[in-house]
Amino acid sequence: MTIADPPISTKLDSKVPGGPMEERWTRHKFDLKLVNPANRRKFDVIVVGTGLAGGSAAATLAEMGYNVKAFCIHDSPRRAHSIAAQGGINAAKNYKGDGDSVHRLFYDTVKGGDYRSRESNVHRLAEVSVDIIDQCVAQGVPFAREYGGLLDNRSFGGAQVARTFYARGQTGQQLLLGAYGAMNRMIQAERIAMYTKRELVDLVVVDGIARGIVTRHLVTGEYERHAAHAVLLCTGGYGNVFYLSTNAKQSNVTAAWRAYKRGAFFANPCYTQIHPTCIPRSGDYQSKLTLMSESLRNDGRVWVPKTKGDQRPARDIPEDERDYYLERRYPSFGNLVPRDVASRNAKSVCDEGRGVGPTGEAVYLDFADAISRDGKAAVEARYGNLFEMYERITGDNPYEVPMRIYPAVHYTMGGLWVDYNLESTIPGLFVLGEANFSDHGANRLGASALMQGLADGYFVIPATIASHLAGRTLEAVTTDHDAFKEAEARARSMADRLMSINGSRSVDSFHRELGNLSWEHCGMERTAEGLRDGIDKVRALREQFWSDVRVVGGSETINQDLEKAGRVADFLEFAEAMFNDGLVRDESCGGHFRAEHQTEDGEAKRDDETFAHVSAWEYQGEGQLPQEHREPLMFEEVKLTTRSYK
Amino acid sequence: MIQKANHGDMRITLEVWRQAAPGAPGKFEEYEVVANEHMSFLEMLDVVNQQLVESGHEPVEFEHDCREGICGSCALTIDGKAHGPRERTTACQLHMREYRSGDRIRVEPWRADAFPVLKDLVCDRSAFDRIQQAGGYVSVNTGAAPDAHAIPVKKESADLAFEAAACIGCGACVAACPNASAMLFTSAKVSQFALLPQGRPERERRVLAMVDQMDAEGFGNCSNHYECEAACPKGISIQNIARMNREYTRALVTQRSN
């Protein structure tokens, strides 16, 4: 089903401003239309999702004077999955004086993304990174500090400078609570109307413009219609298509997928990130995987035994019989190579039969050297809560025995296509944070997700939303409009259909099977044959789902099984799009590793001639193949080279 | 079915609180389950739910999301203890290796008037959000911030502020307190900002508004049982309550003198 050479699409206008790279954002902001403060209260803006992107956007737009309606599926906006981010947030502050700059952060991020991101967006991200730290400190976010009272930094994968700000191993939590506080201030001021326990079930498009949403109340089962002048999706990534991932259990693709079916293009769905340092799975009942922050690689040394099948306990394996394979293969970055490189290397040593632990699917992350060099107290101060978490889950004490780690799905770089204004192909629909595709290319560097979520919400959307609100004539639309009726009817009929099948298999059993399929056919390593095979299997599974799933209980009460059924139904469609994108992208880049395309020593081999573009997929109706559109990627500042971390 | 006879398998009898709707009468139902010592407590509940669904019964509703102890969703009282037997551990991080085959375990929701049960093990904790809305923030508009290094903060203060800010808003403190007091929760936020220069300009207004809201929601007062600290999965210290009391008194005095 590969689509042969589609033309560069005229439907994708990235709206990237011209001129020197470092002046583009400033100039763009000046060129954008403005909504004058008195007029802002005339505009209603819907924000779906209250993680770092949604929370920061909702708060800032409300401060500016817009009427904001914010929605989350949790019982409180504070529980969004951003809360689980551990390690830190990058910013080009150069507080360490180690030669960091906006340009270097920009360069590292483009390179780290394996040259598949949009340069202008990444440069803007690096520029506003410094403002994010200022903002968060002003909110009272308790970042780690040094004795002099100034902020501390650490280094992260893919960088040779220390530019990562952190709050112990709970940076995401602290940043999210900062945004949550900012939202609360606006909720109290009645500038944000907060709707908790609501799930978006459809996007409402009127005259080609996004004008509202339909939600289902997850406690009462009621369907509700909400009209607005603009809709922001800040609904995170699709990692849970793999069932086992580090994502929270409720993270899903539903909002993005239903927007896709209303006309928003989906870009690069095959770009998924496999995080190298997660706790390995222990059995079939496993419901999720737990990440151990990448910051651990600052002090932890990754190794496996040199000999296959060495069953001795780690401490009994002498130094010269250990293979510190990252330090050996990548002497200049060592244990701090980017995530995709670290993950693939872990897989390959395990495939060689040198993996450790009961399943053989794990490598050691060893702190013995750090403890003897800096003392246990210093290591505890840096990673105490992570060590505790590890001990709780595995029953092993990492101060005494090395951690066992294995890669797991963690983040998704693909997402809804957006232009420089973060606007999707549906006018009035903006997409922020992990839900969009633009900044991380084919691989995201550590500590960049928090940066992007907050950049989009605090600094980008507040400026660019005016391009839509002041730039277009927006007729009054009420929730009685036929488009709302049709969207609500569609959502209701989908739920009714799910409830009426009354088959024999639980929703979770389908989700698990889909996850296994995705991991096997579209995981760390992909092949054309495997992807084709995977597509057939996903289609068969989808058919079985719609004839044999069993959803018990009522629809007018809390029914988590019904919620899951809707999300799994969407994942079953989405998976095919992801596999197909991986098939069409006949090269290796970043997290997308096609086994057919590798260098002699097993590194990803890009094909810049053919694939230096974004693939954005347009929905063509049920059962139809999506249409591919291509946005060429121009590299004006960063020269396309083969990434090397040696 | 997931259940096979594996090494580490254990037979557990569960008594689970089932309640159809807010205000509806509830009761304990008994379920037999084969768990495994490597499972998390919630994974054991997943197995129960899978059994229920496959036999056409409604699964047990319970809140959960991150399953790594940080989102604060899970809210289970296990054998009378908020989050169960293990110290500083949320229910989602509790593992079955804490139990022995043949154990009976009783699972129920948080019990507090301010947290009404919605269904089964799910309760309504929106009162916590309203306490935060009353003043749990620094009033600074986006873009109006000075350079992050403009105000140095003593490391000790920053660390203490962090420890208070680590609260996950799960509500175990309320569930554990004989008075269903929310003072540990409220004081954690009051303390975070009292300890940081950024929070000082609004300190009086903040503590008064948050305490008023806490009282309005129907939470009780602290009478020094320390159960909250013992139940808190993040180890939030009751010293925060003492700090909040000082802040509150200080605010009353300052307000009066104004």
Nearest to A134 among B46, B136, B147 (CB): B147
Strand pairing of A67-71 and A44-48? parallel
> Does the beta-carbon distance from A140 to B166 stay under 8 Å?
no
- The CA-based angle B181-B187-B192, given to 5 degrees, is 160
Q: Are B42 and B102 in contact (CB under 8 A)?
A: no
Nearest to B72 among A79, A145, A291 (CB): A79
Q: In degrees to the nearest 10, what's the CA dihedral of A456, A14, A271, A541? A: 100
Interface of B with A in 177-206 (CB under 8 A): 192-193, 196, 198-199
Residue B257 has a pLDDT of 61
d(CA A98, CA A95): 8
- CA-nearest residue of chain B to A195? B126
d(CA A78, CA A74): 8
The whole-number mean pLDDT for each consecutive block of 10 residues of chain B, a chain of 258 residues, reads 63 98 97 95 97 95 96 98 96 95 98 97 98 98 95 96 98 98 98 98 97 98 97 98 98 79
Instruction: Report in angstroms the alpha-carbon separations of A351 from A79, A172, A359.
Output: 38, 33, 12
CB contact, 8 Å: A174 with chain B? yes
Quick: pLDDT tens for A186-204: 999 999 999 999 999 999 9
Per-residue confidence band for A1, with pLDDT thresholds at 50, 70 and 90: very low
| DSSP-assigned letter for residue A313 | -
Strand pairing of A505-506 and A429-431? unpaired
- The CA-based angle A133-A47-A271, given to 5 degrees, is 70
d(CA A79, CA A543): 34
Is the pLDDT reported for residue A382 higher than 60?
Answer: yes
**Which of A458, A8, A487 has the alpha carbon at shortest distance from A204?**
A487
> Mind telling me how many Å the CA of B103 is from chain A's nearest CA?
20
Which residues have CB under 8 Å from A288's CB, separation 6+? A244, A245, A246, A247, A248, A249, B67, B68
Per-residue confidence band for A603, with pLDDT thresholds at 50, 70 and 90: confident
CA B18 to chain centre: 21
Say which amino acid occupies B12.
Answer: I
3-state SS, residue B40? strand
Nearest to B53 among A134, A558, A561 (CB): A561
Instruction: Report in angstroms the alpha-carbon separations of A125 from A91, A102, A418.
Output: 9, 9, 15
Q: In A, which residues are within 8 Å of B128 by CB distance? A: 76
3-state SS, residue B50? helix
Interface of A with B in 261-280 (CB under 8 A): none
| Alpha-helix residue ranges (DSSP H) falling in A411-506 | 449-454, 461-469, 482-501
CA atoms A341, A347, A351, A356: torsion sign: positive
Q: Are A380 and A367 in contact (CB under 8 A)?
A: no
Tokens of A256: 């993005």
> Does the beta-carbon distance from B162 to A287 stay under 8 Å?
no
> Mind telling me how many Å the CA of B159 is from chain A's nearest CA?
7
Q: In B, which residues are within 8 Å of A248 by CB distance? A: 65-67, 71
Q: In A, which residues are within 8 Å of B133 by CB distance? A: 184-185, 187-188
Interface of A with B in 85-124 (CB under 8 A): 93, 95
Instruction: Report in angstroms the alpha-carbon separations of A534 from A267, A546, A597, A626.
Output: 20, 18, 19, 17
CB atoms closer than 10 angstroms to residue B146: 11
3-state secondary structure A154-193: ECCCCCCCCCEECCCCCHHHHHHHHHHHHHHHHHHCCCEE
Per-residue confidence band for A601, with pLDDT thresholds at 50, 70 and 90: confident
- How does the average pLDDT of chain A come out, rounded? 95
Tokens of A390: 């590890």
CA atoms A315, A321, A323, A328: torsion sign: positive
- CA-nearest residue of chain A to B52? A552
3-state SS, residue A343? helix
Residue A98 has a pLDDT of 92
Q: In B, which residues are within 8 Å of A173 by CB distance? A: 70, 166, 168
**Which of A300, A497, A286 has the alpha carbon at shortest distance from A408?**
A286
Q: In B, which residues are within 8 Å of A81 by CB distance? A: 65-66, 71
Q: In a 10 Å sphere around its CB, with 0-12 CB exposed, 13-18 middle and 19+ buried, how is residue B8 labelled?
A: middle
CA atoms A240, A243, A246, A249: torsion sign: positive
- Neighbour-count burial for A226-239, b at 16+ CB within 10 Å, e otherwise: bbbbbbbbbbbbbb
**Which of A100, A81, A78 has the alpha carbon at shortest distance from A90?**
A100
Which residues have CB under 8 Å from B88's CB, separation 6+? A388, B232, B233, B234, B235
Per-residue confidence band for A159, with pLDDT thresholds at 50, 70 and 90: confident
- Which residue in this structure is represented by tokens 């500038």? A191
Calculate what percentage of chain A has a pLDDT beyond 70: 99
> Does the beta-carbon distance from A79 to B146 stay under 8 Å?
no
Q: In A, which residues are within 8 Å of B93 by CB distance? A: 389, 392-393
Which residues have CB under 8 Å from B150's CB, separation 6+? none
CB atoms closer than 10 angstroms to residue A332: 10
> Does the beta-carbon distance from A509 to B97 stay under 8 Å?
no
d(CA A156, CA A219): 41
**Which of A93, A94, A139 to mutate to probe the B interface, most B CBs <10 Å?**
A139
CB atoms closer than 10 angstroms to residue A375: 11
> Does the beta-carbon distance from A148 to B152 stay under 8 Å?
yes
Q: Which of A339, A344, A542, A594 is an active site residue?
A: A339
> Does the beta-carbon distance from A250 to B65 stay under 8 Å?
yes
Nearest to A83 among B36, B70, B146 (CB): B70
**Which of A606, A571, A603 has the alpha carbon at shortest distance from A585?**
A606
Active site residue A198: no
CB contact, 8 Å: A458 with chain B? yes
Which residues have CB under 8 Å from A567's CB, separation 6+? A240, A252, A253, A254
> Does the beta-carbon distance from B36 to A283 stay under 8 Å?
yes
Q: Are A49 and A255 in contact (CB under 8 A)?
A: yes
Interface of B with A in 121-160 (CB under 8 A): 122, 124-126, 128-129, 132-149, 151-155, 158-159
**Which of A56, A136, A145, A147 to mutate to probe the B interface, most B CBs <10 Å?**
A145
CA atoms A472, A476, A479, A483: torsion sign: negative
d(CA A217, CA A195): 9
How many pairs of residues across A and B have Cβ atoms under 8 Å apart? 225
Tokens of A299: 């002090």
Which residues have CB under 8 Å from B110's CB, separation 6+? B75, B77, B82, B123, B125, B171, B172, B174, B175
Q: In B, which residues are within 8 Å of A561 by CB distance? A: 53, 59
Please give the average per-residue pLDDT across A249-274, as a whole number: 98
Nearest to A249 among B56, B64, B144 (CB): B64
Nearest to A60 among B120, B142, B146 (CB): B142
> Does the beta-carbon distance from B145 to A137 stay under 8 Å?
yes
d(CA A194, CA A72): 8
Residue A158 has a pLDDT of 77
d(CA A97, CA A156): 16
Quick: pLDDT tens for A11-70: 899 999 999 999 999 999 999 999 999 999 999 999 999 999 999 999 999 999 999 999
**Which of B43, B123, B41, B66 has the alpha carbon at shortest distance from A197?**
B123
- The CA-based angle A331-A332-A335, given to 5 degrees, is 70
CB contact, 8 Å: A83 with chain B? yes
Tokens of A439: 């900044």
Residue A284 has a pLDDT of 85
> Does the beta-carbon distance from B61 to A558 stay under 8 Å?
yes
> Mind telling me how many Å the CA of A330 is from chain B's nearest CA?
32
Per-residue confidence band for A269, with pLDDT thresholds at 50, 70 and 90: very high
Say which amino acid occupies A371.
Answer: I
Q: Are B89 and A392 in contact (CB under 8 A)?
A: yes
> Does the beta-carbon distance from B132 to A459 stay under 8 Å?
no
Q: In B, which residues are within 8 Å of A76 by CB distance? A: 125-126, 128-129, 169
> Does the beta-carbon distance from B97 to A142 stay under 8 Å?
no
Altogether, the residues listed in chain B come to a count of 258
> Mind telling me how many Å the CA of B94 is from chain A's nearest CA?
8
d(CA A372, CA A160): 24
A641 vs B221, higher pLDDT: B221
> Does the beta-carbon distance from A134 to B40 stay under 8 Å?
no
CA B74 to chain centre: 8
- Which residue in this structure is represented by tokens 């104004």? B258
Q: Are A250 and A518 in contact (CB under 8 A)?
A: no
Quick: pLDDT tens for A282-291: 888 999 999 8
Residue A5 has a pLDDT of 57
CA atoms A506, A511, A512, A516: torsion sign: positive
> Mind telling me how many Å the CA of B241 is from chain A's nearest CA?
19
Interface of A with B in 610-629 (CB under 8 A): none
d(CA A588, CA A594): 5
Nearest to A140 among B36, B59, B198 (CB): B198
Q: In A, which residues are within 8 Å of B149 by CB distance? A: 95, 150-151
> Does the beta-carbon distance from B97 to A508 stay under 8 Å?
no
**Which of B49, B32, B150 has the alpha carbon at shortest distance from B102?**
B32
CB contact, 8 Å: A475 with chain B? no
**Which of B87, B137, B141, B154 to mutate to probe the A interface, most A CBs <10 Å?**
B137
What are the φ/ψ torsions at residue A369 (nearest 5 degrees)?
-65, -45
Residue A550 has a pLDDT of 96
